Structure 1
Amino acid sequence: MVTDLDGTLLDHPKYLSKKYVKDLNEMIDKGLKFTIATGRDMKKTLKAIPDLKLPYPCILTNGALLADLKTQEFLKITNINPTIINEILTLSDEFKIPPIVFAVFNPNSKKVTFNKGTWGSKGIKPLESEHYLPFKEQDVVSIQFHTKKELLDPFKDIIYKNFKKETNLIYIEDVAYNALGYEGEWYWLEINSHEAGKAQMLRYLTDHLNIKMQDVVAFGDNHNDIGMLKAAGYGIAMKNSPAELKEVADYIAPSNADGGVITYIKSHIEELL
């Protein structure tokens, strides 16, 4: 069983409630095979589920990374072709849309560093060039942009046209910005390697664990979960999901605010075990 975090497992915007952590840990202790596939990095994932006893590695950064949260070791890392990175950054400069996240892997320290600007209630401030240009020759795991849709659309379209075979693009709306009082439609554009993706990394993990994809139950709530739900044997969308995800799902669970993932697992625990 694999689940997304934000909008799916998490009933709070920043974490999973203690009562749900307790319920889930009890089911994991009984033998539930369970893990996470999230767009979050390791630090933010650990903050959201610090007390969850995950028995298997987790899929992070929308499938760009596979990690053991207990040891904080990265087990599989995907990186973007260096030539493409240079071309993307040239386009970024031309469109005057600097990255807001620039993640790189250091093979010597075996660590992934996420250079980040600011967003959300703190305001919006992309990265200054000195926080990403000196790192572009390293193993770049992920480049992310965040701005209004009308600015990001033409930038995204060129990248997709030029590099669709060499990259995995995630383009989703930041719906939280309406609640924060920002005008217009604000979107995230995340660029990862073509080897990345929740579905791709899930296939790698199941092969490693000798589990058949047809035996996997997957939960998600957004467009970046479509591939994972389609690849799994049984795909479950949350009630709060967009129509595009619900169309590919085998079942619709209650919303994340109502503990939909935990509710489903508890009501099906015997067959899942």
Structure 2
Amino acid sequence: MEYKLIVSDMDGTLLGDNHKITQENKIALSKALEKGVKIVPASGRIYNSAREHFDFLDINTPLIACNGAIIKETKTNKLIYKNSIPNEICLKIIDVFERNKVYYQLYSENTMICKNLSKEDQKRTAERLKNFFNDDINIHFGDDLKDEIKKHEILKIIAIDDHDIDKLNKVKEELKDIEDIETTSSWFNNVEIMHKGVNKGEALKALLQYLKIDREEVIAFGDNYNDIDMLQFAGMGVVMGNADDAVKEKGNYVTSTNEESGVAKALYKFLEI
């Protein structure tokens, strides 16, 4: 098969554990580009945060962000697709989180909205997020996040709990009572919520219609549960060696880990670059 498009998750896949793209992956992607293959990032991250990692390629490419809720071009910022969460559904989701006293964040296109904390905690949170993301990300703290959804178009909501997984599982059960949402996880400690019909697989489907490329001509890379729809829709779904066994079962091929530049190793195999 002659592949025309590479679509890759970022954290845990294209990026190493330091949240930077590995040098070997950079080289492989550059060689694929020289061969005429299109490259598309597909991330749970906010658009600007995902875009920064592809500056080294100096190309204008579609970018799938917020788990498929938005697709924009990296240089022109041209909007290709967007599916946000209606305000009334956001309110129902927030009610579940507030009732269970779980920490959560709202994602708009380029803003991360967090619950107001003490000044000291707020400073620490902002510094941690800036280290993980980049300076283009606007981090906003609010006293009442229900008010914030009136000011922002919400693409994704994420709840995080590092210590009480039972509480997180309870939240997941309660979210099942809310209609017209999609839920997934990008790590063991979170639950991510988007509008109904939003996932990386559906975003990839919309993008391929836009680019006029067949699904069989796509090779996709991922490592977590929010990548499964994309891995299964693509002609070749490559799962990272660091993925859970349940995710590995959903792909066509298992490569090395993200720390071992597993994306590059699979590209050498399937693209013969």
TM-score, normalised on structure 2?
A: 0.81
Alignment partner of 1:144 is 2:158: yes
User: What's the secondary structure of 1:75's corresponding residue?
Assistant: strand
CA–CA distance in structure 2, aligned partners of residues 73 and 55 of structure 1? 10
Q: Structure 2 vs 1, CA of residues 9 and 120 (structure 1 numbering), >3 Å: closer, same or farther?
A: farther
Alignment partner of 1:153 is 2:169: yes
**Unmatched tracts of structure 1, length 5 or more:** 106-111, 175-186
Indicate the residue corresponding to 2:147 in structure 1. 134
CA–CA distance in structure 1, aligned partners of residues 61 and 127 of structure 2? 34
CA contact (8 A) 1:34 1:54 kept: no
Give the letter aligned to residue 103 of structure 1: Y
Alignment partner of 1:41 is 2:46: yes
Q: Structure 2 vs 1, CA of residues 8 and 172 (structure 1 numbering), >3 Å: closer, same or farther?
A: closer
Q: Deviation digits for residues 216-269 of structure 1, max 9, x if unmatched?
A: 111111111111111111111111111111112111111111111112212332
Q: Deviation digits for residues 28-87 of structure 1, max 9, x if unmatched?
A: 022012211111112321343331344530111111111111233433221112221122
Q: Structure 2 vs 1, CA of residues 173 and 265 (structure 1 numbering), >3 Å: closer, same or farther?
A: closer
- 1:19 offset after TM fit, Å? 4.6
Alignment partner of 1:104 is 2:77: no
Superposition pairs for residues 45-124 of structure 1, below 5 Å? 45-54=50-59, 56-99=61-104, 101-104=105-108, 112-116=110-114, 122=128
CA contact (8 A) 1:65 1:78 kept: yes
Superposition pairs for residues 227-242 of structure 1, below 5 Å? 227-242=229-244
CA contact (8 A) 2:237 2:251 kept: yes
CA–CA distance in structure 1, aligned partners of residues 58 and 30 of structure 2? 6
User: What's the secondary structure of 2:79's corresponding residue?
Assistant: strand
CA–CA distance in structure 2, aligned partners of residues 76 and 25 of structure 1? 26
Superposition pairs for residues 249-260 of structure 1, below 5 Å? 249-260=251-262
Indicate the residue corresponding to 1:208 in structure 2. 210
Indicate the residue corresponding to 1:162 in structure 2. 178
User: What's the secondary structure of 1:49's corresponding residue?
Assistant: helix
TM-score, normalised on structure 1?
A: 0.81
CA contact (8 A) 2:100 2:171 kept: yes
Give the letter aligned to residue 247 of structure 1: E
CA–CA distance in structure 2, aligned partners of residues 13 and 119 of structure 1? 18
Range with greater deviation from structure 2 (40-49 or 192-201): 40-49
Q: Structure 2 vs 1, CA of residues 54 and 229 (structure 1 numbering), >3 Å: closer, same or farther?
A: farther
User: Paired residue for 1:192, among 187, 194, 212?
Assistant: 194
**Unmatched tracts of structure 2, length 5 or more:** 1-5, 116-123, 130-138
| Number of residue equivalences | 248
CA contact (8 A) 2:60 2:75 kept: no
CA–CA distance in structure 2, aligned partners of residues 251 and 54 of structure 1? 28
CA–CA distance in structure 2, aligned partners of residues 69 and 228 of structure 1? 20
User: What's the secondary structure of 2:263's corresponding residue?
Assistant: helix
Q: Percent identity?
A: 24
- 1:209 offset after TM fit, Å? 0.6
CA–CA distance in structure 1, aligned partners of residues 225 and 233 of structure 2? 14
CA contact (8 A) 1:14 1:48 kept: no
Give the letter aligned to residue 99 of structure 2: E
Range with greater deviation from structure 2 (67-76 or 203-212): 67-76
- 1:161 offset after TM fit, Å? 3.0
Indicate the residue corresponding to 2:134 in structure 1. none
CA–CA distance in structure 2, aligned partners of residues 227 and 195 of structure 1? 11
Q: Structure 2 vs 1, CA of residues 73 and 34 (structure 1 numbering), >3 Å: closer, same or farther?
A: same
CA contact (8 A) 2:83 2:195 kept: yes
Range with greater deviation from structure 2 (230-239 or 154-163): 154-163
